[in-house]
Structure 1
């Protein structure tokens, strides 16, 4: 395949944890990639993370400066792209005056990208949504969540999760009403673990870091499913290219429900002396809820206490042949690579 025959994929939010792994997977599979950045000064940081992932040549990678809050450069960003993988999203602001500070930018950003993609003749957009758009706000839900489920935005849920739900719903409405043939698929990851390639990593990875550094003396009683970021990237490519994926949502999950203490036990089992500070006890729910009244950083965590957040990954496996790693493998990969970050061995 010649350079000019390689399909071009636009990846938004190119410096993010998931996005970098998607770019890695695209380059490995002979695609040209154009990545959006809010600040062009982060190009070398992205390349450094890609080098850590094994990339040695960058002739198929380019960058363009965009922002989800502005129309500027989006037409240029999508020009010539066959596919768009829209990963960029406003980050969770835990100190907020109004929930619309998170909801409006997420919704408007998705619509801005879809509009530009449609106008440029892009074939398909893959939207990185979240479990937060599927399984939140249901007090008495029993059994694993599937792609048929939507979070209850009428319940008292964290604005970040509400923003992911409303943004994805807006995307599907746009496709129905204004898409004019533009295809859409969404990937909804649970807690994302896996190899860290630099200093940009997910919230789930942050909790692992806090455990390893001894900043958490005990952990909240939250039960979650996890997925390896490498498998999330693989699922994005399947959702991008497979005809069966058009118009579908896919939960990215290993479908193994673990407590936060279960994650801690895996770290202690595999990391030896590096895990000496990892906690081995749980916080009472009441302590977390009371603390959240005074600490905004704990409000999302408090809202998830006692919730069944188990998921099914049957659809992605059946329809696309997706084969995720185990949660244990993903968590160990996070722990080992996080120790390199903590020790200053990764820049």
Structure 2
């Protein structure tokens, strides 16, 4: 049975990737930093690939430490580098996010190369595509040909810096060492949670449902369902023609208000705000750091990402944005992640 290494096995995307790999008949070895999140991984596997739990092995390996990586690569035919450091609030020290992204990617590729593993699928982001390119107002459409220019960004963003530098490093390493690399670039990832340890992106939905999001910023999202993100990783592995390519994994653009309206229609008893926050206030608050620092680059403009190349790789259309939103909401409510309900 072909074995695939999945880094960051406790992550939202990684759990779905592992489930789909197991369901497709692969053996999977997943890396974790410690044991605390292991129960959530097994819960996810039981939900996503029931009866195939025996195909999963978990090992300890940290993106910032060499220990464990040589053993993790033994007997592996391909690596899916999904692990990333994601924080809800912009850190005072960007290296909290940037170091695991860049050094972690370099470490994973180096140990893969040492073990003779040449096939790598890497989870990147639209953050490496649509920033620092002079788009401050209005509507712009991006494709895989676009690459974020960190020097052109007016406001720093650690996640964007880390992802962009990591992808640049990966392509450079792949060229130098003749590595068969594919990168997948999701937008805002929603869809069903498999356990209570979910992603920060699901906070977009839970924050609206429980009323903890007090107002709606004038921003939008290229939303994609986590099941499609995972499916694209598997499709890239199975289709050699994906080697050397970047793939946007993004659905249609939806404003924050449009996301809220989908939830209002489905869950009329929940305290979903209608209040809007002006752009100038977001820009002022962002100077203090916090969550607004991570969205200020998107205030006042629309970034549309052409996901058609990714759909062609999948061989089908993406799930609808509404499905991604509502399946995220349903699972969050069912698992008790949304605590407040009125009406």
TM-score band, normalised by shorter chain:
over 0.9
Residue number in structure 1 paired with 2:253 = 257
| Greater alpha carbon shift after TM alignment, 236-245 vs 53-62 | 53-62
Aligned counterparts, 1:1-347, within 5 A: 6-92=1-87, 94-140=89-135, 142-154=139-151, 155=153, 156-177=155-176, 179=177, 181-254=178-251, 256-273=252-269, 276-342=270-336
Secondary structure at the aligned position of 2:185 is classed as strand
Relative to structure 1, the CA distance from residue 58 to residue 107 in structure 2 (aligned partners, 3 Å threshold; closer, same or farther) is same
**Contact 2:122 / 2:182 at 8 angstroms: preserved in 1?**
yes
Query: Equivalents in 1 of 2:84, 2:168: separation in Å?
Result: 15
Query: Equivalents in 2 of 1:333, 1:31: separation in Å?
Result: 26
Relative to structure 1, the CA distance from residue 325 to residue 48 in structure 2 (aligned partners, 3 Å threshold; closer, same or farther) is same
Relative to structure 1, the CA distance from residue 130 to residue 325 in structure 2 (aligned partners, 3 Å threshold; closer, same or farther) is same
**Contact 1:271 / 1:335 at 8 angstroms: preserved in 2?**
no
TM-score normalised over the length of structure 1: 0.91
Secondary structure at the aligned position of 1:40 is classed as coil
Q: Give the deviation of 1:270 after TM superposition.
A: 2.0
| Greater alpha carbon shift after TM alignment, 11-20 vs 302-311 | 302-311
In the alignment, structure 1 segments of 5+ residues that lack a partner are 1-5
Query: Equivalents in 1 of 2:337, 2:99: separation in Å?
Result: 39
| Greater alpha carbon shift after TM alignment, 211-220 vs 22-31 | 211-220
Query: Equivalents in 2 of 1:344, 1:45: separation in Å?
Result: 18
Please tell me the root mean square deviation across aligned C-alpha atoms, in Å.
1.9
Q: Give the deviation of 1:144 after TM superposition.
A: 1.7
In the alignment, structure 2 segments of 5+ residues that lack a partner are none
**Contact 1:244 / 1:320 at 8 angstroms: preserved in 2?**
no
TM-score normalised over the length of structure 2: 0.92
CA offsets, 1:7-66, max 9 Å, x none? 101000001000000011011101100000000343222101222335234111101100
CA offsets, 1:313-346, max 9 Å, x none? 121223452431011111110111111233689x
**Contact 1:190 / 1:252 at 8 angstroms: preserved in 2?**
yes
Once superposed, which parts of structure 1, at least 4 consecutive aligned residues long, lie more than 6 Å away? Answer: none
CA offsets, 1:224-276, max 9 Å, x none? 1100000000000111120110000001112x111011100011122343xx2
| Greater alpha carbon shift after TM alignment, 195-204 vs 59-68 | 195-204
Residue number in structure 2 paired with 1:3 = none
Secondary structure at the aligned position of 2:111 is classed as helix
Query: Equivalents in 1 of 2:90, 2:256: separation in Å?
Result: 24
**Contact 1:137 / 1:157 at 8 angstroms: preserved in 2?**
no
Query: Equivalents in 2 of 1:319, 1:308: separation in Å?
Result: 25
Query: Equivalents in 2 of 1:54, 1:237: separation in Å?
Result: 14
Secondary structure at the aligned position of 1:294 is classed as coil
